[in-house]
Chain A
Amino acid sequence: MNEFVEQFLLECRELVAQATDDLIALEENPGDRERIDSTFRAFHTLKGAAGIVEFAAMGRMLHVAEDLLSAARASATAIRPNVLSECLTALDMLSRWLDAMEGSGEVPPAAEAEADQMIARLALTSDAAPVAVAAAVDDHDWLETLRTKAGAAFSQARTAIRYRPDTDAYLRGEDPLALIAGVPGLLQIALGLRDATASLATMDPYASALDILALSAAGSDDVARALAGARDQVALRSLAAPAAATAAPEMARTLLSAQLGLLQETSPDGFLGRLASAGRSAVNVLRHVGDGVAADTVATAADAAIAQNSAAPLVAALEQALGIAAAPPAAVTPDAALVAVPVVAPRALRVDMDRIDALVKLSGELIVVKNAIGHVARLVHDGSDPGAAAAALRRQHALFERLAAELQGAVLRIRVLPLRTVFRRFPKLVRETAVSVGKTVRLLTEGDATEADATIVDALFEPLLHVLRNAVDHGIEDTARRAEAGKSTIGTITLRARRDADSVMIEIEDDGGGIDAGRVREVAQARGIAGAEVLDAMTDAEAIDLVFAAGFSTAATVTNLSGRGVGMDSVRTAVGQLGGQVSIDSRPGQGTIVRMVLPFSLMLTRVMTVEAGGQSFALPLDTIIETTIIDRDRITAIGAGRAFALRDRTVPLIDLAETLGLAQDTSQKPHAKIVVMSAAGQLGALEVDRLGERMDVMLKPMEGLLGGMRGVAGTTLLGDGRVLVVLDVAEIFQ
């Protein structure tokens, strides 16, 4: 047993005696503030002592009693007699426990059950001070609920969480379930309703009625950080096992981040002291972990900060120190509330051990192949049968090809981040934008666990923000108009993501008024984007697509709300730079969907080469459905274009050479070589002169003057130094 038991017993007996005195005096004079304070403090200190000797039952019981006393302390009225008598009973029980401990040196085994009974009795004093005691009872109950529900898992838990989202949490764009799911070390979630008697009929679907209980294996600091966005709706309890010692680099990062957090405080009182203490602490931490260079840098920055009476130099130095120290990047991902580090593309990536292991394994296999090829070379050199050597070489080549592909895949998976890292910044921004234009809008996110290349995830923030702002500002109608249209007065915007083969699909859907194609035509004409005839010939969908045209939205905007008609052309440009596409789908009165299709990774694209008009081009393989050769008489003219029947579907056919302006006459050839493709959900076919080979290429987007070139996705260098143009099929079919 614990070396502190002796002193524990001594001190507890004193405290019990003192608290008993106080309680008896309070029975005489229930309004004595000093006595209430003194009792409260004794219970508080007893609770702390319980922690030192790991006497959990005692801690639990005293916690409930302490809450009762704390409520009495805060209340202006005199403390109720039944609270006093139950607190005295609790002290009697504690005295018996102390006696038992003195005999055995151990925590008495019956204490758990007795503590539970005492907690129930303390809870029954609820008529004394309804609100506070209800909270105390509640507190006990929810921990008990978790204890029952979690079973064995409870013993692994270090933090118990109760999160009761405000009823208007959804309206503020908060997503309680996503928030709780983001808690580190989550062991158990128990969902309940605030009001157990609520029925489906009476429930308001826009009001949160949730009462979320959860257990986490992480410490309360980490849990609190994860839930910082809803801090006033969350109660945390540290459970039995106290924080364990952590690896030094990790703790150093935590402490350095804490100093950064301290520097975010702007109150003028004690500013210099906080600044200097943050600097001194950070220098000490760096010295302790042996990073003398960083310590010196931070020390210099701290001196500069003190001299300038500004946190900026120290903040910069700490950020640098955090960026350099190669350690778990948990702290690099900035946490809005506690560590307000500016968001930049992460220089450090958190990588699963499994993914690294996969790389290690693959590199081992590559070495085996290398040795095998060396063996084949020796065979050839020794003049063995060339046929056999060639066969062996082919086998190794096949193996090498597979390994190279796997290695590439493994490397790509290292660069992957969940979209959550960008999505989670939006609820607050949407809420603020909505408030600024006097609307109520809730943002729902779906599929935020979808992964994509880190570069893409980072670059998505701006375009998504543009689209979301537009949705709030122009998409969602004002309350009066929504009411008129028979819609809920609360607008809904859904931000959803999903993985679709090699691409990532992101949709921003609002339930607003939709885009008025007529107005788009007027604006487009007024701004000289297209002439009246062209505009009239366009379908509504084509007209609406003009919102992406450069110079379309400047001041007055489609849905009348003036102001920040943020250029949707910049969205198309940004998404295009990432190798993606953006489209818009709008129904009058029902809302608008902006859809972005992005590549999963920026690195490699599988293409197939084709020849047309004497030149080579590449088509992205993921857009190709099949290649075929058809008799020319199966091609029929439809309007200005051509089409052919593929099984039971009519597919529009484009002559690639002709479309690209390469003079060509194919009419006399009896057969046509066709590539059937899927672009933006539609089937289409290209006629080419020759079908080439498949290859993986590093796609380089067009830049500078050629950046705006339609129909070209980018270029890549071929092995012989020639430039291969990779076509953007969707744009060609437009």
Chain B
Amino acid sequence: MTEAAGLRVLIVDDAALIRTYYRAALEPRGYVVDEALNGLEGLEKVLLQAFDMIIVDVNMPQMDGMTFLKVLRAKDLPVGATPVLVTTSEAGPQDMAAARAAGANSYLVKPIRQDVLAQYADMLCGRLP
């Protein structure tokens, strides 16, 4: 397996278990994972260092995922261009449309299998085959 050496992923989710779960899906494949507990913390991290991809939950305290995404997209490039995967337990078409309008590159409904998450990360980060 080619390692995704150096590819950096930020997980923004208020649930520690979910963050651990995602981390466990990505780290064995060589991703460098960082975490944030809500949108606001996520923005702080994004402005300090570049990520190859951000996985963000929708429903979070302080700043929700949609707001985080809208603020991110309004940032100068290349920060504003970071690929974002939105994850949520809401599966309605209107939720997907809202995520797209906010600038999500992809959308997954929880619960998410670890191999699926890894596959999305490989694609959106452009991990070499």
B123/A285 in contact, CB under 8 A: yes
A222-257 to B contact mask, C-beta < 8 Å, 1/0: 001101100110111110001111101001100100
**C-alpha gap A235/B81 in the complex (Å):** 32
A263-274 to B contact mask, C-beta < 8 Å, 1/0: 001010110111
**C-alpha gap A252/B105 in the complex (Å):** 12
With a cutoff of 8 Å between Cβ atoms, the chain B residues found around residue A236 in the complex are 91-93
A288/B128 in contact, CB under 8 A: yes
Other-chain contact of A288, B24, B82, B123 (Cβ < 8 Å):
B123
B129/A41 in contact, CB under 8 A: no
With a cutoff of 8 Å between Cβ atoms, the chain A residues found around residue B82 in the complex are 277, 280
With a cutoff of 8 Å between Cβ atoms, the chain A residues found around residue B122 in the complex are 288
**C-alpha gap A290/B103 in the complex (Å):** 26
B1-41 to A contact mask, C-beta < 8 Å, 1/0: 00000000000001111101100100000000000000000
**C-alpha gap A255/B107 in the complex (Å):** 10
**C-alpha gap A11/B128 in the complex (Å):** 36
B92/A273 in contact, CB under 8 A: no
Residue A261, interface by CB 8 Å? yes
Residue A262, interface by CB 8 Å? yes
B15/A284 in contact, CB under 8 A: no
Residue A287, interface by CB 8 Å? yes
Residue B112, interface by CB 8 Å? yes
With known contacts A231-B97, A273-B81, A48–B124 Cβ distance under 8 A: no
* A1-57 interface with B by 8 A CB criterion: 3-4, 7-8, 11, 37, 41, 44-45, 47-49, 51-52, 54
With a cutoff of 8 Å between Cβ atoms, the chain B residues found around residue A276 in the complex are 77-78, 80-81
A47/B83 in contact, CB under 8 A: no
Other-chain contact of A242, B18, B81, B113 (Cβ < 8 Å):
B113
* B54-111 interface with A by 8 A CB criterion: 59, 61, 70, 72-75, 77-78, 80-84, 89, 91-94, 96-97, 100-101, 103-111
**C-alpha gap A242/B80 in the complex (Å):** 30
Other-chain contact of B89, A41, A47, A287 (Cβ < 8 Å):
A47
**C-alpha gap A650/B123 in the complex (Å):** 72
For A3, A273, A278, A281, which residue has the most chain B Cβ atoms within 10 angstroms? A273
With a cutoff of 8 Å between Cβ atoms, the chain A residues found around residue B20 in the complex are 4, 7
**Nearest Cβ in chain A — how far from B122, in angstroms?**
5
With a cutoff of 8 Å between Cβ atoms, the chain A residues found around residue B119 in the complex are 245-246, 248, 251
With a cutoff of 8 Å between Cβ atoms, the chain A residues found around residue B14 in the complex are 41, 45
With a cutoff of 8 Å between Cβ atoms, the chain B residues found around residue A252 in the complex are 123
**C-alpha gap A687/B79 in the complex (Å):** 81
With a cutoff of 8 Å between Cβ atoms, the chain A residues found around residue B105 in the complex are 255, 258-259, 262, 277-278, 281
Which residue from chain B places its CB closest to the CB of A37 in the assembled complex?
A: B61
With a cutoff of 8 Å between Cβ atoms, the chain B residues found around residue A228 in the complex are 93
**C-alpha gap A159/B123 in the complex (Å):** 25
**C-alpha gap A252/B124 in the complex (Å):** 9
B92/A306 in contact, CB under 8 A: no
With a cutoff of 8 Å between Cβ atoms, the chain B residues found around residue A283 in the complex are 126
Which residue from chain B places its CB closest to the CB of A159 in the assembled complex?
A: B91
**C-alpha gap A221/B104 in the complex (Å):** 14
A-B contact count, CB below 8 Å?
181
For A219, A269, A277, which residue has the most chain B Cβ atoms within 10 angstroms? A277
* Number of residues from B at the complex interface, CB < 8 A: 54
Residue A586, interface by CB 8 Å? no
**Nearest Cβ in chain B — how far from A220, in angstroms?**
4
Residue B127, interface by CB 8 Å? yes
With a cutoff of 8 Å between Cβ atoms, the chain A residues found around residue B21 in the complex are 4, 52
**Nearest Cβ in chain B — how far from A72, in angstroms?**
16
**C-alpha gap A265/B24 in the complex (Å):** 34
With a cutoff of 8 Å between Cβ atoms, the chain B residues found around residue A579 in the complex are none
Other-chain contact of B126, A246, A269, A278, A285 (Cβ < 8 Å):
A285
With a cutoff of 8 Å between Cβ atoms, the chain A residues found around residue B92 in the complex are 224, 231, 234-236
B91/A237 in contact, CB under 8 A: yes
Residue A514, interface by CB 8 Å? no
Other-chain contact of A48, B77, B101, B110 (Cβ < 8 Å):
B110
With a cutoff of 8 Å between Cβ atoms, the chain B residues found around residue A274 in the complex are 73, 103
**Nearest Cβ in chain B — how far from A51, in angstroms?**
3
A281/B89 in contact, CB under 8 A: no
B15/A48 in contact, CB under 8 A: yes
Residue A279, interface by CB 8 Å? yes
With a cutoff of 8 Å between Cβ atoms, the chain A residues found around residue B72 in the complex are 270, 273
For B16, B17, B20, B94, which residue has the most chain A Cβ atoms within 10 angstroms? B17
B73/A277 in contact, CB under 8 A: yes
Residue A388, interface by CB 8 Å? no
Which residue from chain A places its CB closest to the CB of B95 in the assembled complex?
A: A224
With a cutoff of 8 Å between Cβ atoms, the chain A residues found around residue B113 in the complex are 242-245
A183-213 to B contact mask, C-beta < 8 Å, 1/0: 0000000000000000000000000000000
In the complex, 11 of the A-B residue pairs with CB atoms within 8 angstroms, ordered by the A residue number, are A48-B15, A48-B18, A243-B109, A244-B113, A255-B105, A258-B106, A272-B80, A276-B80, A277-B82, A281-B105, A288-B128
B interface residues (Cβ-Cβ under 8 A, vs A): 14-18, 20-21, 24, 59, 61, 70, 72-75, 77-78, 80-84, 89, 91-94, 96-97, 100-101, 103-113, 115-116, 119-120, 122-129
A interface residues (Cβ-Cβ under 8 A, vs B): 3-4, 7-8, 11, 37, 41, 44-45, 47-49, 51-52, 54, 159, 219-221, 224-225, 227-228, 231-232, 234-238, 242-246, 248, 251-252, 255, 258-259, 261-262, 265, 267, 269-270, 272-274, 276-281, 283-285, 287-290, 306, 337-338
